[in-house]
Amino acid sequence: MKTNDVYLNRLLKFGRYMGKTHLRDVLFKREIKTGCSKYDTSVECFAWALEALPHVFKEWTFSPESIACLKNNERLNSLTAAAVWFNLNFDTLSHLFLPGYQDSIYGGNVLDEAATPGDLSNNIYEYVKIMIEEQLKDSLKPLPATEPIKTKIYKLKNQKYETRNTDFLPRMWA
């Protein structure tokens, strides 16, 4: 799945990373760090997901306090920076990064405090799928009805020629 929308592509890349690292952790029986914390925000969120952003995108880094932040705007907290980076409004940001705030219109499952990276990855895929379907639906709207094409038939030396929309010729000569 690939789209022309740079923000959805970023989300897809992040979702793939989260799913791949979760699968690797499960296969090698590593301890999976999940849960919720306030991290650098005043809202409980999936801090482990925000901490993964600098590992996925070169535009992200860790601050001296070991908090994930955008390189070009370190003043933003991680959750706000994620909203800017992925072009998310409050509802979609909550759906992806806050436990218990998932909405069925964006697909996926309700994520509680014990959600895993695989669960988050699934919600990201479902959200991107719905957004791509909406973009396709918008791009496939029917064209407005137009007037029928006017045609004129001319006979020249026993051959038939048909022209369309010749109304522009008199206007060109005027």
Mean predicted lDDT score pLDDT of the chain: 77
Q: What is the pLDDT of residues 17-38, one digit of tens each?
A: 888 876 666 554 555 555 545 5
In Å, how far are 52, 57, 63, 121, 136 from 17, measured between CA atoms?
A: 9, 10, 22, 8, 26
Q: What is the pLDDT of residues 78-123, one digit of tens each?
A: 888 999 999 999 999 999 988 888 888 888 888 888 888 888 889 9
In this predicted structure, what is the pLDDT of residue 103?
87
What are the structural domain ranges in the chain?
6-139
